[in-house]
Amino acid sequence: MIDIENITKDYVMGEEVVHALRGVTLKIHRNEYIAIMGPSGSGKSTLMNMLGCLDTPTSGRYEFNGKSVAEMDDDELAAVRNREIGFVFQTFNLLPRSTSLRNVELPLIYAGIEPERRMERATQVLTDVGLGDRIHHKPNELSGGQRQRVAIARALVNGPSIILADEPTGNLDSKTGEEIMDLLERLYERGNTIILVTHERDIAAHARRTVHLRDGLIELDHAGFIPELDLPIAEMTST
Amino acid sequence: MKRFLYELSESWKIAAAQMRSNLTRSTLTALGVIIGIIAVTLMGTAVNGISIGFDKSMAVLGDDVLYVTQWPWKPVDDWWNYRDRKKIKTEYAETLNRMIAATPNSKLVIAVPTSSFMRSIKYSGNQVDNVFVLGTTSDFIVTSTIDCTSGRFFNELESRGGANVVMIGYDVADALFPSQSPIDKSVLINGQLFKVVGVNTRQGTFLGLFSWDSMVAIPLAAFNKYFSAKSDSDVRVKIKDKTKLADAKDELTGLMRRVRGLPPEKKDDFSINEQQAFKSTLDPVKNSIAIAGLFITGLSLFVGAIGIMNITFVSVKERTKEIGTRKALGARRRTILLQFLIESTALCLLGGFIGLVFAYLMCFGIGKAFPSFPIHFSLGLVFLSMIVSIMTGLFSGFAPAWTASRLDPVAALRYE
Ligand SMILES: Nc1ncnc2c1ncn2[C@@H]1O[C@H](COP(=O)(O)OP(=O)(O)OP(=O)(O)O)[C@@H](O)[C@H]1O
Ligand SMILES: [Mg+2]
Residue B10: closest C-alpha in chain A: A109
Q: How far apart are CA B11 and CA B24, in angstroms?
A: 21
Q: Residue B105: pLDDT band by 50, 70, 90 thresholds?
A: confident
Least confident of B165-169, B208-212, B309-313, B332-336: B208-212
Length of chain B: 416
Instruction: Compute the average pLDDT of residues B285-292.
Output: 84
B326 to chain A, any CB pair closer than 8 A? The answer is yes
* DSSP type of residue B167: E
Instruction: Compute the average pLDDT of residues B203-214.
Output: 66
Ligand nearest to the CA of A199: 1
Q: How far apart are CA B387 and CA A145, in angstroms?
A: 48
Domain-located, residue A125: yes
Domain-located, residue A89: yes
Domain-located, residue A65: no
Instruction: Compute the average pLDDT of residues B36-53.
Output: 83
Domain hosting A150: range is: 31-58+74-238
Q: What is the pLDDT along chain A (239 residues), one digit of tens a residue?
A: 899 999 999 999 889 999 999 999 999 999 999 999 999 999 999 999 999 999 989 999 999 988 999 889 999 999 999 999 999 999 999 999 899 999 999 999 999 999 999 999 999 999 999 999 999 999 999 999 999 999 999 999 999 989 999 999 988 898 999 999 999 999 999 999 999 999 888 888 899 999 999 999 998 888 877 766 665 544 444 44
Instruction: Compute the average pLDDT of residues B55-61.
Output: 72
Q: How far apart are CA B325 and CA B347, in angstroms?
A: 24
Smallest Cβ–Cβ distance between A112 and the set B2, B21, B324 belongs to B2
Instruction: Compute the average pLDDT of residues B102-108.
Output: 87
Does residue B372 surpass a pLDDT of 90? no
Residue whose Cα lies nearest atom 6 of ligand 1: it is A11
Domain-located, residue A68: no
**Residue B305 main-chain phi, psi, to 5 deg:** -65, -40
For residues B44 and B381, is the Cβ–Cβ distance under 8 A? yes
Domain ranges of chain B: 2-57+281-414, 110-238
The CATH number covering residue A103 comes to 3.40.50.300
Q: In what order do the strands lie in the sheet with A16-28?
A: A16-28, A2-13, A59-64, A67-68
Tell me the average pLDDT of chain B.
86
Instruction: Give the model confidence (pLDDT) of B28-39 as tens digits.
Output: 989 999 999 998
Q: How far apart are CA B46 and CA B38, in angstroms?
A: 12
- Specify the ligand 1 atom closest to the Cα of A39: 25
Q: For residue A20, report the distance from its CA to the centre of ligand 1, in Å.
A: 6
Instruction: Compute the average pLDDT of residues B155-172.
Output: 89
Domain-located, residue A157: yes
For residues A42 and A214, is the Cβ–Cβ distance under 8 A? yes
Residue whose Cα lies nearest atom 17 of ligand 1: it is A45
Does residue B353 surpass a pLDDT of 70? yes
B160 to chain A, any CB pair closer than 8 A? The answer is no
Burial of B412 (0-12, 13-18, 19+ CB in 10 A): buried
Which chain B residues touch A113 with a CB distance below 8 Å?
6
pLDDT reported for residue B294: 82
* CA max distance for chain A: 54
Report for A155-169, B42-56, B79-93, B118-132: range of highest mean pLDDT: A155-169
Full-model pTM: 0.74
pLDDT reported for residue A216: 92
Q: What ipTM was predicted for this assembly?
A: 0.92
State how many domains chain A has: 1
B83 to chain A, any CB pair closer than 8 A? The answer is no
pLDDT reported for residue B205: 58
Helix (H) or strand (E) holding B66: strand B65-69
pLDDT reported for residue B201: 84
CA B33 from chain centre, in angstroms, equals: 27
Domain-located, residue A67: no
> How many Cα neighbours within 13 Å face the side chain of B65?
22
Instruction: Give the model confidence (pLDDT) of B140-157 as tens digits.
Output: 888 877 778 888 899 888
Tell me the one-letter amino acid at A65.
Answer: N
